[in-house]
Amino acid sequence: MIARGPSSTAPAYATRPRRGLALLAALWLVVMISAAGLQFATAARERRALGVSAADRGRELAALEGALAEVQARLEGTLRAPVRRSARRASAPRDPWGQLPERLAPELTIGEVVVGVRSVDLGTVLNVNLAGERELAVLVGALLRDPVAASRVAQAIVDWRDEDDIPRASGAEAAQYRTAGRAVLPTNGPFRTLDDLDDVLGITPDIATVIRPYLTTDGMTRRINVNAAPEPVLRNVPGITEPLLRTVLAMRSGGRRVETIPALVTAVQGRGQAGESGRLELVRALEESITLDTRDIAIELTVREPRSVQPSRLVAVLRRGDDSTATIQGRRW
């Protein structure tokens, strides 16, 4: 019998499994490196996107600040300009801040950023956080022509912002909101913006659309501009009567302004009809609750960027000073 030595092919068979494992390990290493590279690339893209977003945001905020400074300068310029006289009546000086939409451009370009400009004379609207239930009911009643619905809306608004959880007769507190299946409950605090009205129980989208133009959450003024406020707001002036209201509206439609409160009261009541003391008392009441000029303005500035899902916005309140200055009283982003 012939003895055979070790087979020369044995080592090759033995190394094949090891080579397969090595190949698998190499492939796995390539996959891991590729995955890590992809992860790093994704993270880098996200960081770049965040960096660009932060840069864009900073640029927009700077543009809003610049636009506010530009508006402030223009408003102060109108106060320092020579007083103009009305074309219809030479003795009637115009309000330097009157007819703001015509005086301020609807857009400003700050650098390369376009900023939309919207202005509101705060003497022509009611502050929903300061107005009482009666004031709100009078305003809403004049708009809806429905005293019952107006009372319900007014009470719901006051219940939303007051500190207690006791509902008024036609109002609603947290318990009523839960019963109605509402996800948003009353804050028992001030309205942040007029968008909060959409969450008030009893205010439908149609009602909100009607009342929003006559309300605001900005500023702290309670004085109504008798020469600019719309009729529903004028009805909230303490002491105003139907004859006074009709006289004011007739003067405005004829291009005239109320120059002084005593002259207005005298034009309606005459002298001696209600007694001099009664006339003077009415004059004092009106002078405490109205203004003849625009004194406080809310300026809303919005970046007009078509690619932005939520454009940057700045709202500032500017107060007119007796020294021809426009002072910023507050701002919100």
What confidence tens digit (pLDDT) does each residue in 80-95 have? 877 555 444 444 458 8
Report the distance separating Cα 102 and Cα 240, nearest Å: 29
Task: Report the alpha-carbon angle 309-215-98, nearest 5.
Answer: 95
Report the distance separating Cα 149 and Cα 151, nearest Å: 5
Lowest-pLDDT range of 99-108, 167-176, 187-196 = 99-108
Amino acid at the residue 225: N
- Three-state SS letters, 31-53: HHHHHHHHHHHHHHHHHHHHHHH
Q: Please, what are the domains in the chain?
A: 51-124+295-332 (3.30.1300), 129-213 (1.10.40.60), 222-291 (no CATH)
pTM of the model: 0.79
Which residues are bridge partners to 107 per DSSP?
Answer: 116
Report the distance separating Cα 329 and Cα 137, nearest Å: 29
Q: How sure is the predictor about 16, in pLDDT bands with cuts at 50, 70 and 90? A: low
Distances (CA, A) of 332 to 221, 299, 317: 17, 11, 9
Report helix, strand or coil for 112: coil
pLDDT at position 23 over 80:
no
How many CA atoms does the CB half-sphere of 178 hold within 13 Å? Answer: 4
Instruction: Please report where in the chains the tokens 């009911």 appear, as a residue.
Output: 137
How much is the pLDDT for 50? 47
Which residues are bridge partners to 85 per DSSP?
Answer: 93
The token pair at 230 is: 């719309």
Which residues are bridge partners to 115 per DSSP?
Answer: 108, 303
Distances (CA, A) of 270 to 3, 227, 257, 267: 145, 21, 19, 6
pLDDT in tens, 218-259: 999 999 999 999 999 999 998 899 999 999 999 999 999 999
Distance of CA 311 to the CA centre of its chain: 13
